[in-house]
Homo-oligomer: A and B are copies of this chain.
C-alpha cells in the first residue's frame, strides 16, 4: 500500500457519514447492501449518499455492481486489510506497544489470527 492510497482512504473514512456507510457495508458482508437500503438505514438523502459512495469508491474502499434497478455496494476487504496493514507497519517494526493489544482481537475472531495447531498451547 502506497502512502498516497492510504491518505485517500483515511480521508474518505474521516467523515462521520462515510464512516457510518463503510461500517454498514463491512457488517453487510460480501453480499453487499443496495444504495437505497443504505439511505433508508442511515436516513440520508440519496444524492448525498451517492456523492459519499463515490468518494469511498474512488478511494478503493468499496465496490459496486448493478442488480436490476438497484446498485449494490460492498466493502473491499482487501483494501481494508491493506490499510490496516499499512498503519501497523510502523508499529510492529519497532513499536510493539501498539500492536500488542490488537493481537487478542485478531486471535479472538473466528478464522483470524496466526495459524495455531489445534490443541496447542495457543
Contact = CB atoms under 8 A, between A and B. Distances in A.
A97 interface: yes
Given A106-B88, A106-B92, A109-B99, A19 B10 contact: yes
A113 B114 contact: yes
Contact of A84 (B87, B93, B94, B112): B87
A11 interface: yes
A114 B105 CA distance: 9
SS class, residues of chain A in contact with chain B:
helix
Interface string A1-21: 001101111111111100110
Interface of A: 3-4, 6-16, 19-20, 23, 26-27, 29, 75, 77, 80-81, 83-85, 87-114, 116-117, 120-122
Nearest to A20: B3
